Amino acid sequence: MFTLMNRMQYPITQEHPLLSKNPHDLVPFLEIKLYVDNQIPDLSSLNSPRLFATHIPFFSLPKSVHDSSCKFVYLCRNPKDIFVSLWHFTNKLRLQEMGTNSLEETFDMFCRGVTIYGPYWDHVLDYWKESMENPHKVLFLKYEDMKECPTDNLRGIAEFLGCPFSNEEEESGMVEQILKLCSFDTLSNLEINRAGKLSSGEENKAFFRRGEVGDWKNHLPTEMVEKLDHITEQKFSGSGLKF
């Protein structure tokens, strides 16, 4: 989205910011960077249209955000892959002397909804319902669909954000250039993401693992798969949302 929205200011060249900065440094998190520790950021210093990231549940966002004209692009993922990714990621961030969280312990907490931003299913459903009621405000995307049809989804995001590709951009291969620059393979192999750190201290490589659909099959035993599938079917029942 950073590359898409800033394609006039930052053409895709060897000097593109994404080649020398981690995406988290280019798209600041509301709750992790901008407003953490009761900071009051000067948003007027940021170029418009401003682009932010967040993991905050929709119902937890302030009324001013709900009433604003800002748009949301919400990306979710199959709960089994989400769980495996979360397990690996949180263990990467733990101090060595703390040891690692076991798969079983983390699974139990995930199923009970004990995660940093609340229960996975409630989080997804809130944005899903809002996207159904206000499709002009919330664009609901699935990671699996993005992986399967990246070109169509990128065009869809551009349309939703009000910056569609022109005929000239299409003919020049702009869509393919953005997809290549922003691909998992390209970003994960950059020096900044293999050896660099965020200003908050986390290693950039912690944010890149495999980026594959269905990796849960390499980690979860049958009983865990069945339990997650049962919870998901129960939680999403009647919503029209399926994985």
Residue 55: active-site member: yes
Alpha-carbon distance of 140 to 6, in angstroms, equals 22
> Phi and psi of 72, rounded to 5°?
-120, 130
Helix (H, G, I), strand (E, B) or coil at 192: helix
Contact 76, 117 (CB under 8 A): no
Given the residues 16, 55, 123, 230, the one annotated as active site: 55
Contact 196, 208 (CB under 8 A): no
Alpha-carbon distance of 203 to 193, in angstroms, equals 8
The tokens 């551009």 sit on which residue?
Answer: 158
Helix (H, G, I), strand (E, B) or coil at 73: strand
Contact 62, 126 (CB under 8 A): no
Catalytic positions: 55
